[in-house]
A and B are shown apart, each in its own frame.
Chain A
Amino acid sequence: METEPHDITKVIYDEMYVAPGEPRVQYRAVYDQITSMEHEDLMLRQQAADQSFLHQGVTFTVYGEDEGTERIFPYDLIPRIVTSDEWATIERGLKQRIYALNLFLHDIYNEGRILADGVVPNELIFTCKHFRREMRGVSVPKDIYVSIVGTDLVRISDGSFAVLEDNLRVPSGVSYMLANRQVMKRVFPKMFANYGVRAIDNYGQVLLSTLRNLAPRRGTEPNIVLLTPGVFNSAYFEHTFLARQMGVELVEGRDLLVHDNIVYTRTTAGLKRVDVIYRRIDDDFIDPLSFRSDTQLGVPGLFNAYRAGNVALANAIGTGIADDKALYAYVPKIIKYYLGEDSILQNIDTYLLDDPGSRNYVLDNLDKLVVKAVGESGGYGMLIGPHSTKAEQEQFRDLILANPRNYIAQPTLALSTAPCLIGREIVSRHVDLRPYVLYGEEITIVPGGLTRVALKEGSLVVNSSQGGGSKDTWVLM
């Protein structure tokens, strides 16, 4: 069947091949290596890699099974390559985007100029469940709201990268990026060395200096802690990993207490003042006195200490407003408004469903579109039209009609594919890319990211909670 060359719903860009059996220049050596190897050898290396993950304890917890069940996040041997030109665009685009979104957050929690000027509609902000009234007028260290970001990019038909989601709350997965690289260097040392891949190992240090930059007290070495919901959280491994990488204490809510608006850790040697908290707990659960009270995870009084300027949080509270999926549609306008620039990375067309015209169009085309709940992440609350049943479509129709503001729709993208070793065969699977952005004294993006793979044939869902895997991502020098 003939397709339009740039129909983003049909034309699939392949990461490795220009045409069947014909790899792109940057993949030549990987292609030669893989195709020249005996199958047994490939399998052995895959096993060695899996073993290595298991032994390092690079695992995530599977819910609903026998307690203590841990799985490794499936890892694919064949690297994903990003050329230095492609990376330069990604880097510029992400810096621009995060810079603008941060200005946006500052604006809506202070003067609200962008609302007054009618660029972003008022209702959109005030109807967002991640908007925190409590944050209005609160002064945030260095005016940095989002210190840590993991933006989801996809490569579309024409080979360019587009932003799929801005994750501005508590993005995860960076430990897999780092662990994948460690394993890759062990499994394919020679090929790796010959390629000229940019290093990512300094992520922990950059993260530490990003956090240190937020410390409210000057002149003393800041006490930085990583706040985890605890061992039952599926990303607990990552929390321990990052705490180790940075050499900071891993704490749970019950290890912290607030007295006279100062936050302390309770240690055997007495109370120790805390300056910066890298929190891996959502806003809702962080302080039962200010937000949800039916939780034991957080720290009573933390928000007041924060508001008093005695402790810094990364990320700030209320950043979820800027990664709301409906707000996403306005990001190009937001960039234009604050920076006077056109967006470098493109957005995916998004239908906002409180507009009756768009809504009718979407309801008529549920079998072709992707519908997402605006405040969800991790691949939950989502309908992928072409892969859905009539019953699922009907269910979403009802959901949309009941609460149009809560959903958006986008065309079903043909995500790019990359070859993966699955079972005994090398087959094509859809991938995305999540680079990790750190906003400290300046914005830094370690050259790499987590390439997530939808392991099921034809599937477009790459989330680890939904059966995804990952690849090492090489950014070339």
Chain B
Amino acid sequence: MLSRVAENMYWLSRYLERAEHTSRALNLTLNLILEQRTDEERQWMMRHLMESLFADQLPEGATLYDMTHALAFDRENSASITHCIGRARENARQIREQISSEMWEHLNAMYHRVNQATLDSIWQSQSTHGFFSGVTQGAHLFQGITDSTMSHNEGWYFLQLGRYLERAIYNAHFLDVQFRVLQLSPDYPAIAKDFMKWVGLLKSFTAFESYCKVYSADLRSEQVIEFLLLNAEFPHSIRFSIDNAEQALKAIDRFTETKRAASVTRLIGKLRSDLTFAQIDEVMESTGLSIYLNQLQIECGKVHDAVNRVYISYSVDKALEY
């Protein structure tokens, strides 16, 4: 497959995943902020949301409206929903003949819907929740359409790779910021303080229900962290994301049979086995959660670079050696 096409596939799903992520986090924060009594608390939550989405901080005195504008409708802001969906669509447009028409039509419709909406109108009609749920749902639908209308060929695996790598990187960063904020009480029986925020955190990963099925509604911080980081079955956990990214890379390796793939396989294999065998208490005590999450992001970045080097923008001399 052409390198350019692979690259478009990869970024298409990275951007769409990012839009979904922003949308979920923003929706939840808007909801949680309703519970905050003081302006100070509200400002504090807004700052942390911006930080956890890799977005630039808002100027002093920014309102909730300003934040929503920045994260949803500001095209200049690379974390914003409109920016990400626009980029996803642009990538899809370059490879229209490679993806199914159903995929294109859905993404295109989603793009136009988001673009035609204005913050004023959804703000006034108090329908922010509906709008952001729509974005999240649209991204889920795209995934479903992709799985059932596109051949599961090399291109499909690049879409998978993009989605799961993006998910792992964003989640690691998001969790790092959030955990720093939430007080981790090592010897709590359960979380009393900040209960809503812990629920909120789980909900922003659509993880609350799944968590309850594993650990019951008895929230314990260590279990929440374990669940979001190391659970093997939950699709938004970091471990699950890395497992799937590895599956995708193995498949791509089978399709391309290039000898240069060894560097990618090694990196992702190392990362995956680390997450498979990690114990939450070790992570928390000997490594330190923040360091661990940061290290994860660095490793994911290395995988991204290696993919680029092996499959997309390799040097001509390197390619001719093989």
A27 CA / B128 CA spacing, docked (Å): 62
A233 → chain B closest CB, angstroms: 12
Q: How far is the CA of A269 from the CA of B254 in the complex (A)?
A: 10
**Is A113 among interface residues, defined by CB-CB distance under 8 A?**
no
Is B316 a contact of A252 with CB atoms below 8 Å? no
A255 & B93 in contact (Cβ 8 Å cutoff)? no
For residue A403, CB closer than 8 A to chain B, the reply is no
For chain B, give the interface size range: 20 to 34
B316 touches A257 (CB 8 A): yes
CB of B34 closer than 8 Å to a CB of A: no
Contact among A57, A231, A249, A259 for B2, CB-based, below 8 A: A249
Say yes or no: is A296 at the interface (Cβ < 8 Å to chain B). Answer: no
B1–A267 touching, CB < 8 Å: yes
Q: Are B322 and A270 in contact (CB under 8 A)?
A: yes
* Partner of B154 from A254, A265, A268 at Cβ < 8 Å: A268
Give Cα distance in the complex from A261 to B316, angstroms: 13
**What A residues does B255 contact at CB under 8 A?**
268-269
Report yes or no: A266 in contact with B3, Cβ–Cβ below 8 A.
yes
Nearest A-chain residue to B313, judged by Cβ: A266
**A254 and B319 within 8 A (CB):** no
Tell yes or no: A244 within 8 A of B by CB: yes
CB–CB A255/B320 < 8 A: no
Alpha-carbon gap, A264 to B2, bound state (A): 11
A227 contacts B by Cβ under 8 Å? no
Cβ of B246 to closest chain A Cβ, rounded Å: 17
Q: CB-nearest residue of chain B relative to A239?
A: B97
Interface size on A, residues (CB 8 A): 23
User: Which residues does chain B contribute within 8 Å of A265, judged by CB atoms?
Assistant: 2
The verdict on B257 contacting chain A, using a C-beta distance below 8 Å, is: yes
Contacts of B256 in A (CB 8 A): 267-270
Q: Which residues of B contact A240 (CB under 8 A)?
A: 96-97
User: Are B316 and A57 in contact, with the CB atoms below 8 A?
Assistant: no
Closest A residue to B256 by beta carbon equals A269
- Whether B258 and A251, one on each chain, are in contact in the complex, defined by CB atoms closer than 8 angstroms, is no
Q: Does B6 contact A (CB under 8 A)?
A: yes
A68, CB-defined interface residue at 8 Å: yes
Interface check A271, CB cutoff 8 A = yes
Q: Is there an interface contact between A266 and B258, defined as CB atoms closer than 8 Å?
A: no
Residues of B within 8 A of A68 (CB): 93, 108
Task: Specify which of A252, A257, A265, A269 lies most central, judged by the most chain B CB atoms within 10 Å of its CB.
Answer: A269
Closest to B310 in A: A268
Per-residue interface assignment for chain A, residues 234 to 274, with 1 indicating a CB less than 8 Å from any chain B CB and 0 otherwise: 00000010011000011110110101000011111111000
- Whether B101 is near chain A, meaning CB under 8 Å from some CB there, is yes
Q: Nearest Cβ in chain A — how far from B30, in angstroms?
A: 31
* A89 to B: closest C-beta gap in Å: 39
Find the B residue at minimum CB distance from A271.
Answer: B319
Complex contacts, B320 vs chain A, CB 8 Å: 259, 271
Q: Report Cα–Cα, A269/B322, bound state, in Å.
A: 11
Which B-chain residue is minimally distant from A249 (CB atoms)?
B2
Question: When the two chains form their complex, are residues B96 and A231 in contact, meaning their CB atoms are under 8 A apart?
Answer: yes
Partner pick for A266 among B4, B96, B101, B252, CB 8 A cutoff: B4
The reply to whether B319 and A252 contact each other, CB–CB distance below 8 Å, is: no
A248 to chain B, nearest CB (A): 12
Residue among A231, A268, A269, A271 making CB contact with B93, cutoff 8 Å: A231
CB of A270 within 8 A of CB of B252, answer no
The CA-CA distance from A9 to B320 in the complex, in Å, is 63
In the assembled complex, the CB of B51 is this many whole angstroms from the nearest CB of chain A, namely: 33
Cα(A68)–Cα(B108), bound, Å: 9
**B-chain residues with CB within 8 Å of residue A230 when the two chains form the complex:** 94
Partner pick for A268 among B6, B94, B108, CB 8 A cutoff = B6
- Give chain B residues whose Cβ lies under 8 Å from the Cβ of A254: 4
- A contacts, CB < 8 Å to B: 57, 68, 230-231, 240, 243-244, 249-252, 254-255, 257, 259, 264-271
* Interface CB pairs A-B, < 8 A, 8: A68-B108, A231-B94, A268-B2, A268-B3, A269-B1, A270-B256, A270-B258, A270-B322
Q: Which 7 A-B pairs have the closest CB atoms?
A: A269-B256, A240-B97, A268-B311, A266-B3, A271-B319, A268-B256, A270-B319
Q: Can you add 20 more A-B contacts, CB < 8 Å, to A243-B97, A266-B314, A268-B1?
A: A68-B93, A231-B96, A244-B97, A249-B2, A255-B4, A257-B316, A259-B320, A264-B316, A267-B1, A267-B2, A267-B256, A268-B3, A268-B6, A268-B154, A268-B252, A268-B255, A268-B312, A270-B256, A271-B316, A271-B320
